[in-house]
Amino acid sequence: MDIFDRLESEVRSYCRGWPVVFGEARGSHVYDETGRPYLDFFAGAGSLNYGHNHPELKAALLDYLAGDSIVHSLDAHTVAKRDFLETFGEVVLRPRGLDYKVQFPGPAGNNAVEAALKLARKITGRETVVSFTNGFHGMTLGALAVTGNSMKRHGAGVPLNHAATMPFDNYLDGQTPDFLWLRSLLEDSGSGLDRPAAVIVETVQGEGGINVASAAWLRGLSDLCREHDILLIVDDIQMGCGRTGPFFSFEHAGIEPDIVTLSKSISGYGLPLALTLFKRHLDVWEPGEHNGTFRGPNPSFVTGTAALNLFWRDDRLEKETRTKGELVEDALTALAADLPGTGAHVRGRGLARGIGFTEQGVAKAVCAEAFRRGLLMETSGPEDEVVKLLPPLTTSEEDLRRGLDILAESARAAVRTPQPV
Amino acid sequence: MDIFDRLESEVRSYCRGWPVVFGEARGSHVYDETGRPYLDFFAGAGSLNYGHNHPELKAALLDYLAGDSIVHSLDAHTVAKRDFLETFGEVVLRPRGLDYKVQFPGPAGNNAVEAALKLARKITGRETVVSFTNGFHGMTLGALAVTGNSMKRHGAGVPLNHAATMPFDNYLDGQTPDFLWLRSLLEDSGSGLDRPAAVIVETVQGEGGINVASAAWLRGLSDLCREHDILLIVDDIQMGCGRTGPFFSFEHAGIEPDIVTLSKSISGYGLPLALTLFKRHLDVWEPGEHNGTFRGPNPSFVTGTAALNLFWRDDRLEKETRTKGELVEDALTALAADLPGTGAHVRGRGLARGIGFTEQGVAKAVCAEAFRRGLLMETSGPEDEVVKLLPPLTTSEEDLRRGLDILAESARAAVRTPQPV
Amino acid sequence: MDIFDRLESEVRSYCRGWPVVFGEARGSHVYDETGRPYLDFFAGAGSLNYGHNHPELKAALLDYLAGDSIVHSLDAHTVAKRDFLETFGEVVLRPRGLDYKVQFPGPAGNNAVEAALKLARKITGRETVVSFTNGFHGMTLGALAVTGNSMKRHGAGVPLNHAATMPFDNYLDGQTPDFLWLRSLLEDSGSGLDRPAAVIVETVQGEGGINVASAAWLRGLSDLCREHDILLIVDDIQMGCGRTGPFFSFEHAGIEPDIVTLSKSISGYGLPLALTLFKRHLDVWEPGEHNGTFRGPNPSFVTGTAALNLFWRDDRLEKETRTKGELVEDALTALAADLPGTGAHVRGRGLARGIGFTEQGVAKAVCAEAFRRGLLMETSGPEDEVVKLLPPLTTSEEDLRRGLDILAESARAAVRTPQPV
Amino acid sequence: MDIFDRLESEVRSYCRGWPVVFGEARGSHVYDETGRPYLDFFAGAGSLNYGHNHPELKAALLDYLAGDSIVHSLDAHTVAKRDFLETFGEVVLRPRGLDYKVQFPGPAGNNAVEAALKLARKITGRETVVSFTNGFHGMTLGALAVTGNSMKRHGAGVPLNHAATMPFDNYLDGQTPDFLWLRSLLEDSGSGLDRPAAVIVETVQGEGGINVASAAWLRGLSDLCREHDILLIVDDIQMGCGRTGPFFSFEHAGIEPDIVTLSKSISGYGLPLALTLFKRHLDVWEPGEHNGTFRGPNPSFVTGTAALNLFWRDDRLEKETRTKGELVEDALTALAADLPGTGAHVRGRGLARGIGFTEQGVAKAVCAEAFRRGLLMETSGPEDEVVKLLPPLTTSEEDLRRGLDILAESARAAVRTPQPV
């Protein structure tokens, strides 16, 4: 393993909590090179909603590659892209009545966010974008400016501007009415907040600690944006593609964002792909005004198309996710009750779940204990105070239960052991 | 084809010059869905230096995928990443005496650039980055600030700051000594240029119009940076991986940049992958200070490793590229001489070549004529005034000659036809 | 008068509400060139706390000028500056136990603010400055970034950055605990607010609409700043020099700001002068790091010294201001009660008072009616919804009553007349 | 004197080279409090073109003040302002055919610059302002961004943006054609320089080291601006009001700037006053969009009017300045020839003159020696390498010669004495 120490930058992080070398992976399991299995409750931070190497997606991919179909094509037209667009339109957009256009802004989520911000500023001629406490949108300079985490912001090396942070749902513990502050700023010409181009929001903040925005709050935000002619961007990179149940995480709120970003699980196979969606009349881009080399990764289109066909032509997955989510919630609730004095509390929606601890260091210790027991999980939240559960949506109930058992054991072990800070 | 019109954003560009739907691709040829072949002199803007779907890389990739090896792993350790790092160290770094560490900053070139800029600013505690006229470094906000193209800059929707543009080699047509201006600014405490964190430069500007920096100019720049304690970043995304002959495009100049960015052809197969390299002592990143979902695309590692093993364990490819480059240069020189009155002139190094026209619209017309004759080429330069040739390095001499013949025919046809502006 | 129309920029403003040409001025009265007197309840926006052309200050000034004492001296030492410093130390600083150093940053309030912001950023190495809704700090680019008014911000022509706006006392109508939001942002490493260099605040917002911060709120702010190692800047340009009673407007709160700005009435005679005060250990300026031509306006020092000697060696003025303030408050309260349906409400402290109207246009109409009746007043607040009373502190009770009578009459007249919007 | 040490900030500068306390001042002489006279070759950095306490200006000022004429009036109409505007129109604008409108942006030069920049950005809707190496425009954040001096820039504490520095006339020692670089940037859509709102330039850089722009260079700049629809701002704060001979320093070049800033000597008496002038059609300000407390300092109007009447109704002063300038130039040229090995060289126009030294520390030493001999002078240039001569324009030839003799003596003394660095 010392090749990693010797050659790879100190910036690497996940590998520090999982000090093994992974080799194979199938469904909800990953195997290290010695063949030891790990149950994966992290799913590539939400990039593997359908598990690792799903056999039907794999078949489509192998078939595509074996036939010498085109792999790299910039933004030229390809058969694979056409299939993807047709399927996305038919399976995702049309049934939901969404008249969006699709931009392929680059291979990663940050490209989708950067394109969304650029487009919103171009459309409105304004600069400021409102983001929310503990929001996470990416590491490139534009995306970082709307991201809350101070350590990551500090990495910019330049001041991050043109953004204003507002309280996420329930951030102020119910001590103030929703949007009182944002509405006051918008309605007061002396407030010092320049009229924003857009608001960017996650419906459930994954990196921020599995913080859930209620449907009412999302509707309130949408209304406020409409009233003030501000574009609403939902960053659905982590919570989209069914993570919370429906394909888009905002569906249950009955809102229709002006701009939506997708990535992570959109290729379905863990391959890089990102989409920026926007209402048809907002497509004011000049040809080539935003470009990039990997905007048309055909293998990602192929697995993405297969995944849409397999999982989104009916509501089976959505229902299963809801059911499994409740199973997880119940287990976590029971576990929290079983850990008195730790401030354990439960959060989440669908299969984006978390158990938070007020005592510092506990969450990290729980994940370490879980890893020792063959379960992959990660922390989130500004102080790494939340154990985050993002199992593949396709995880069997049996595996879910097994993982939850390991988690419970790990939590009890971690709480027994005094934590070094 | 109308699914593209209906669903895909107006931002799409390459597809406008090539109004067909591509299906398969092998080596230097791409086929549209009707089976019509196109000789590819664009190579994914330099992402396909080894051609499309190279059989040995394909075999490695199919083997990897078929065996359920892990595809997505964030920045965890994997067998595929270890192989890549070991091979990269052994084949690329060690023989060149480069003691670099490797960061995987995300799947695309812009991630490599953003990471490079962040790191340079963090190391120095300064903000300003010097870039060059007609430089191109990417579309995310940090990368865009050091990119010259005004249309793309305008797309930012916010002022682009913390950057200063300087004349690229020969920009001022020899009417002023190299670095007179930059050196004066650096040495004069009243100049108004805040001391830069870094300089970012391409050795050959691909998007900027195939503008070649001489070895002497690059050495001068490197010396100036050293003198003033400024980090030198070479963006080798398009010109690296052998495009100009040697693996790194700066090797012939005998300089050793502090930071190097790689992407495009580093996976060898057109799959997304990007690297930021920096001298060992510059690795001041905190764990996780820059992160991202697609930092460890294992399929890209697999094909990247295979490509390094296949092409870079000896100097055969480098020599061939030099020879083929001369072949192209000779043909272009002859062609230019054959197009009097068009201001045709020849530029480039290795297999990054261009023929520029002073008359507006000619280059675009040449590419259109070429497409009709089954040859894929693109323009570059601020006014699209240069026909750019980036054939796969593996293109046979026969195909090269054939493509050059088509180009010559196309140029003559374009010049005969009056150009609408 | 058409010379003004012909030659002076459209930017001029006060002259539009007072379409006469002023000639002489004595105490609380200004006379137009025909000799018509106006009772002045505006006092140069708080620059004439001791009235116009106070005879003792005038005598000192004439004596100084007549004797060919030096007028302009950059920041050289002069007798006049020494006298001012000695008097300021003895009369203002020492009795209040304030160990401040004094910077003369230029002749105007914005210079004092710009110097304060620069110093706070230099000391802390941070960029962000927290300001408050409806704060007003000046028109130069640094000061404008912490000013709330959107029309004035828009005049910048560039985005205004490195600042974050927070709710002023009672901004959210008691619907949220004080500092809940700011404290949450400061204590949450994921909040998106970069750690601020400083907070800049007015104890009573003059331009913002005579919004009064309570002593408890100011103490809370001071404590929060101390806890988080953030510098507290009180901008006392309009409210200092006795406007609210004590010399500094923050004295009653028992806080000791790190940095204080003074201007307007500090020369006592309406002559340009500005001071930036800061705790001794914060004096980290390099010699000449902030300079300017008019930093040592000796005539201003002379009248400033005379004013300090005359008004601040005892507590007479402070007591009178308090008494007169109550007189005004009572009259305004009675008036508000007498204007049902207008939403009239009373605000202020000392002799900074306002009567606000919820109905748009009323305040402007009241001022217009007052002008017709020989009383100078101005509106303030983001929508010009507040009639602002800033009479000279030296206004006799008789004149105060007379002015208040005119105001009452004017208000009744304005309310009777339907307002065009 | 220790009150200054004890109470005044370390930022003070001029007083460090002149460690005495000044009391009186008449014409070209300043007296310390013991009565020792100093011949003043600094003239308040160009604020005292008509000398200290000119008797006719003083008479007008005393008369104005004695009669209780209004001193402070914000931007209301006053008799004094009207007189000033009428006189300025009649004496300055009309004879020169300049159809400018006049803004009173605040009392200091930086206010004039800030207003100019804001207006240029508002008019054009662009952000970037081009400034020149070693330009000096003031210490407020907007003005500082277009100022070259690195120590002063560093004082900002935030990155200074929206500006680009270009080579001043002869900056590159004739090694490159004028405007080759700026013109290339403007004409190349890939240059990375966003289209500027304006160019801001001094015709002679005072603080920058008495660097003189030739008439041809200024015309070239003006033409380039016109061609590219960029506003030309001449900052005439130090060089206006006759310092170089004519009232405006740009007159000899035959150009007509879009915007002009004036301050320093415009009041004629060392009192704070500043003007921003702009072509009539550029007056797009909203009422009150830029405001400030000390925009209408009536005493400054009074002395300013008197000065215009006294000095600018005929061309006597202009001619005298030219003659005296030649006298100074001849003396400096002789002196430079007399100081072999020091790299002494002579610069300037009119009565803005300098003698520069290549050896570090010499200029400072010369000024110190001069002070000991009763002559006030200051250094300028980025390394304080130039002794700057800005005597009052009204200095008698006898005094000029006497000062030049002292300077020669001081220079010889300084050169004899080895300089500590």
Q: Chain B residue with minimal CA distance to A1?
A: B82
Neighbours of chain A (3+ CB pairs under 8 A): B, C, D
Interface A-B, measured as beta-carbon pairs within 8 A, has a size of 384
Q: Are strands A352-356 and A345-349 parallel, antiparallel or unpaired?
A: antiparallel
Contact flag C132-A175 (C-beta cutoff 8 Å): no
Taking only the tens of pLDDT, chain D with its 421 residues reads 699 999 999 999 999 999 999 999 999 999 999 999 999 999 999 999 999 999 999 999 999 999 999 999 999 999 999 999 999 999 999 999 999 999 999 999 999 999 999 999 999 999 999 999 999 999 999 999 999 999 999 999 999 999 999 999 999 988 899 999 999 999 999 999 999 999 999 999 999 999 999 999 999 999 999 999 999 999 999 999 999 999 999 999 999 999 999 999 999 999 999 999 999 999 999 999 999 999 999 999 999 999 999 999 999 999 999 999 999 999 999 999 999 888 999 999 999 999 999 988 999 999 999 999 999 999 999 999 999 999 999 999 999 999 999 999 999 999 887 655 5
Contact flag A22-B290 (C-beta cutoff 8 Å): no
Residue C341 banded pLDDT, cuts 50, 70, 90: confident
Task: State the Rg of chain D over Cα.
Answer: 21
- Closest in B159, B184, B192 to D135, CB measured: B192
Take residue A276 and report the two structure tokens written for it.
Answer: 């920026």
- pLDDT at residue C228, rounded to an integer: 98
Neighbours of chain B (3+ CB pairs under 8 A): A, C, D
Neighbours of chain D (3+ CB pairs under 8 A): A, B, C
CA distance to partner chain D, nearest, from residue A105 (Å): 22
- Pairwise CA distance, residues C257 & C74, whole Å: 28
Q: Where in chain A is the domain with CATH 3.40.640.10?
A: 58-311
Residues C124-173: tens digit of each pLDDT: 999 999 999 999 999 999 999 999 999 999 999 999 999 999 999 999 98
- Pairwise CA distance, residues C115 & C174, whole Å: 34
- pLDDT at residue A164, rounded to an integer: 97
Contact flag A141-B140 (C-beta cutoff 8 Å): yes
Contact flag B107-A272 (C-beta cutoff 8 Å): yes
DSSP 8-state symbol, B95: G
Residue B205 φ then ψ, to 5°: -80, 110
Homologous superfamily (CATH) for B2-54+315-416: Aspartate Aminotransferase, domain 1 (3.90.1150.10)
Angle at alpha carbon of residue D73, lines to D71 and D79, rounded to 5°: 75
Q: Chain D residue with minimal CA distance to A158?
A: D159
- pLDDT at residue B75, rounded to an integer: 96
Take residue C277 and report the two structure tokens written for it.
Answer: 């005060």
Contact flag A158-D159 (C-beta cutoff 8 Å): yes
Q: Chain D residue with minimal CA distance to C48?
A: D72
DSSP 8-state symbol, A280: G
Contact flag B158-C159 (C-beta cutoff 8 Å): yes
Mutating which of A130, A179, A188, A383 best tests the C interface, going by the most C Cβ atoms within 10 A?
A: A188
CA distance to partner chain A, nearest, from residue B191 (Å): 21
Q: Chain D residue with minimal CA distance to B158?
A: D127
Residue D112 φ then ψ, to 5°: -65, -40
- pLDDT at residue A419, rounded to an integer: 56
Mutating which of B181, B205, B211 best tests the D interface, going by the most D Cβ atoms within 10 A?
A: B181
Contact flag B133-D190 (C-beta cutoff 8 Å): yes
Residues in chain D with CB shorter than 8 Å from the CB of C85 are: 3-4, 7-8
- pLDDT at residue A421, rounded to an integer: 52
Contact flag D143-C140 (C-beta cutoff 8 Å): yes
- Pairwise CA distance, residues B187 & B189, whole Å: 6
Residues in chain B with CB shorter than 8 Å from the CB of C162 are: none
**Residue at token pair 């004596």:** C63
Q: Chain C residue with minimal CA distance to D286?
A: C11
Interface B-D, measured as beta-carbon pairs within 8 A, has a size of 128
CB atoms within 10 A of CB A390: 30
Can you give the length of chain A in residues?
421
Take residue B288 and report the two structure tokens written for it.
Answer: 């996780």
Q: Chain B residue with minimal CA distance to C157?
A: B159
Sequential DSSP letters for A357-370: -SSTTHHHHHHHHH
Residues C23-78: tens digit of each pLDDT: 999 999 999 999 999 999 999 999 999 999 999 999 999 999 999 999 999 999 99
| Rounded average pLDDT per 10-residue block, chain B, 421 residues | 94 96 98 98 98 98 98 97 98 98 98 98 98 98 97 96 97 93 97 97 98 98 98 98 98 98 98 98 97 96 98 98 98 96 94 95 97 98 96 98 98 80 52
Task: State the Rg of chain B over Cα.
Answer: 21
Residues in chain B with CB shorter than 8 Å from the CB of A86 are: 3
pLDDT for C302 beyond 70: yes
Residue A217 φ then ψ, to 5°: -65, -45
CA distance to partner chain A, nearest, from residue D399 (Å): 53
Q: Where in chain C is the domain with CATH 3.90.1150.10?
A: 2-54+315-416
Contact flag A289-B152 (C-beta cutoff 8 Å): yes
Take residue A153 and report the two structure tokens written for it.
Answer: 């912001």
SS3 A103: strand
Q: Chain D residue with minimal CA distance to C114?
A: D140
Q: Is A26 exposed, middle or buried (0-12, 13-18, 19+ CB in 10 A)?
A: middle
Sequential DSSP letters for C89-130: IIIIIGGGT--EEEE---SSHHHHHHHHHHHHHHHHS---EE
- pLDDT at residue B420, rounded to an integer: 56
CB atoms within 10 A of CB C180: 18
ipTM of this model? 0.97
Mutating which of B144, B191, B193 best tests the D interface, going by the most D Cβ atoms within 10 A?
A: B191
Non-local (6+) Cβ contacts of C293 within 8 A are: C74, D44, D45, D47, D108, D109, D237, D263, D264
Measured CB to CB, residues of chain A less than 8 Å from chain D are: 158-159
Mutating which of C129, C183, C189, C202 best tests the A interface, going by the most A Cβ atoms within 10 A?
A: C189
CA distance to partner chain D, nearest, from residue C384 (Å): 12
- pLDDT at residue D243, rounded to an integer: 98
- Pairwise CA distance, residues A51 & C369, whole Å: 76
Measured CB to CB, residues of chain D less than 8 Å from chain A are: 158-159
Q: What is the CATH number of domain D58-311?
A: 3.40.640.10
Residues A168-189: tens digit of each pLDDT: 999 998 889 999 999 999 999 9
- pLDDT at residue A245, rounded to an integer: 98
Low-confidence ranges of chain A (pLDDT < 70): 1, 418-421
Measured CB to CB, residues of chain C less than 8 Å from chain B are: 158-159
Contact B347/B210 with Cβ under 8 angstroms? yes
Residues in chain A with CB shorter than 8 Å from the CB of D288 are: none
Q: Is C277 exposed, middle or buried (0-12, 13-18, 19+ CB in 10 A)?
A: buried
Q: Chain D residue with minimal CA distance to C94?
A: D7
Contact flag A101-B3 (C-beta cutoff 8 Å): no
Residues in chain D with CB shorter than 8 Å from the CB of A159 are: 158-159
- Closest in C127, C177, C382 to A159, CB measured: C127
Residues C190-209: tens digit of each pLDDT: 999 999 999 999 999 999 99
- Closest in C132, C161, C172 to A181, CB measured: C172
Q: Chain A residue with minimal CA distance to B124?
A: A157
